[in-house]
Amino acid sequence: MWRASVLTIFPDMFPGLLGISLAGKALDTRVWALETVDIRAHATDKHRSVDDTPAGGGPGMVMRADILAHAIDSVPPIGRPRLLMSPRGVPLTQERVAALAKGQGAIIVCGRFEGVDERVIAARGLDEVSIGDYVLSGGELAAMALIDACVRLLPGVVGQSTSIVEESFAEGLLEYPQYTRPAVFERLPIPEVLTSGDHGKVAQWRRAEAERLTRERRPDLSAAYLRRQNRTTDG
């Protein structure tokens, strides 16, 4: 079973939105398992402190290496990567999510305050993962995003497996535009090809639209896609 162990000072935040909808149903039916580790339970003083002032001065507080290491050591790794949610990390991609979903799960450390003492990152081999170029107040939301993205790829979680195969990033492209009833909305009809019943033409249109959207919105993805197709950006 795919297992997520989340180390946090706010265990009550979980399962949170992971307990609802697709991920929640899959949690109930034991497609995956969630465990939280309260980092404060590993503190050594009566105030259960997990942080201290930064060496060298400066604002904020830093999570202590010894307390965090103790919390991490309480979770047997058994073939699971140890991740640290961090804005400094490697940006999360669908490719990485798919690789994580194929494994046995992940041990995920949620930072708070100004971050965590650098020494524990090296000492426990934490792999830093970012969910985007912006700063959240803590790693919990980022961990939930990562877990949600992985869980929906587990067998049986999303109804039709084709909906996973065709969605954004699956082939390095953004998804084509989607339409449903009514046939006309505020004078805007559904593109004719989609109601033609010609599956070949529909597939062709969708591919062309996916390529167009990716070119317009994500030139970086588009260039990589074209390189993989052995084509050049000139055509």
Q: Which residues here bind ligand SAM, judged by CB under 6 A?
A: 85-88, 110-112, 114-115, 130-132, 134-139, 142
Q: In whole angstroms, how close is the CB of 146 to ligand SAM at the nearest point?
A: 8
Give the residue with the Cβ less far from ligand SAM, 86 or 222: 86
Give the residue with the Cβ less far from ligand SAM, 147 or 173: 147
CA 76, CA 180: separation in Å to the nearest integer? 47
- Residue with the closest Cβ to ligand SAM? 111
Give the residue with the Cβ less far from ligand SAM, 27 or 131: 131
96-128 exposure pattern, b = at least 16 Cβ within 10 A, e = fewer: bbeebbeeebbbbbbbbbebbbeebbeebebeb
The two three-digit tokens of residue 133, written as one number:
């170029």
Query: What's the angle, vertex CA 32, arms to CA 17 and CA 142, rounded to 5?
Result: 40
Q: In whole angstroms, how close is the CB of 133 to ligand SAM at the nearest point?
A: 7
CA 73, CA 67: separation in Å to the nearest integer? 10
Q: In whole angstroms, how close is the CB of 211 to ligand SAM at the nearest point?
A: 29
Q: In whole angstroms, how close is the CB of 157 to ligand SAM at the nearest point?
A: 23
Q: In whole angstroms, how close is the CB of 98 to ligand SAM at the nearest point?
A: 19
The closest alpha carbon to 210, from 178, 163, 184, belongs to 178
Sort strands 32-38 and 2-8 into parallel, antiparallel or unpaired. Answer: parallel
Give the residue with the Cβ less far from ligand SAM, 90 or 203: 90
**SS3 assignment, position 52:** strand
Give the residue with the Cβ less far from ligand SAM, 105 or 139: 139
